[in-house]
Amino acid sequence: MKMQRTIVVFALGVAVALLAGWVAFPRALYLQKQQPLEFRHKTHAEKSGVADCNECHALRDDGTFAGLPAMEKCAGCHSERIGTSNAEATLVDTYIKPGNETPWLVYAQQPANVWFSHAIHVKRAGLTCTECHSTYGESDQVKLYEVNRISGYSRDIWGHSISRLRRAPHDGMKMSDCEECHRKHQVEVGCLGCHE
């Protein structure tokens, strides 16, 4: 009887530890933040005719990635309000008219020791944006930004499945994800090809 009770207590302890490790820990590890504005890629693509990611997320002349669009790009259409949404009112009144950049939270910010060239991947390798960023550019809502409380990096780097067993395609931008893609395309890069 005592042995059975010990086994039950042990099994219950293991179950609680697993539950805490796989459910509670990720919730405690990541801080959730909202973007400063509600932005709808799909709406912008449909209403403005912007069909290609690089119309807003462009490469500079030297091939480096310009990242998020500068405020001038938004001001081209939104120097005055053209709609009735609260997000547009905030965009125009808080950012465009005073000349402030929107403090977007960057989902794909890589660690400081990683060097990544969009130009090499897009121009030379011919990869599309969706191969790494999925169909986020077709979305009609801003996804929640989750930042790791310890590392300070977005959850999009690790991916949403901590075990990575149920990882969806395009979910994660870890070194192993890059290595897997390089193997798939039969491209070898040494350590210094990506790390400074």
pLDDT in tens, 141-190: 888 899 999 988 888 888 877 666 767 767 788 888 889 889 999 999 88
- 53 located within any domain: no
Domain boundaries, position 109: 104-196
- 168 located within any domain: yes
- 127 located within any domain: yes
* Pick from 54-63, 83-92, 176-185: least confident: 54-63
**Residue range 38-48: mean pLDDT, rounded:** 84
- 41 located within any domain: no
Amino acid at 18: L
Record the pTM: 0.76
- The answer to whether 66 and 60 are in contact (CB under 8 A) is yes
- 123 located within any domain: yes
- Residue 147: predicted pLDDT: 92
- In angstroms, the CA 35 to CA 156 distance is 15
- 11 located within any domain: no
Helices (H), the chain: 2-19, 25-29, 41-48, 71-78, 86-90, 118-119, 130-133, 155-158, 175-184
- 149 located within any domain: yes
Q: How many CB atoms lie within 10 A of CB 60?
A: 10
- 157 located within any domain: yes
Q: How many domains does the chain have?
A: 1
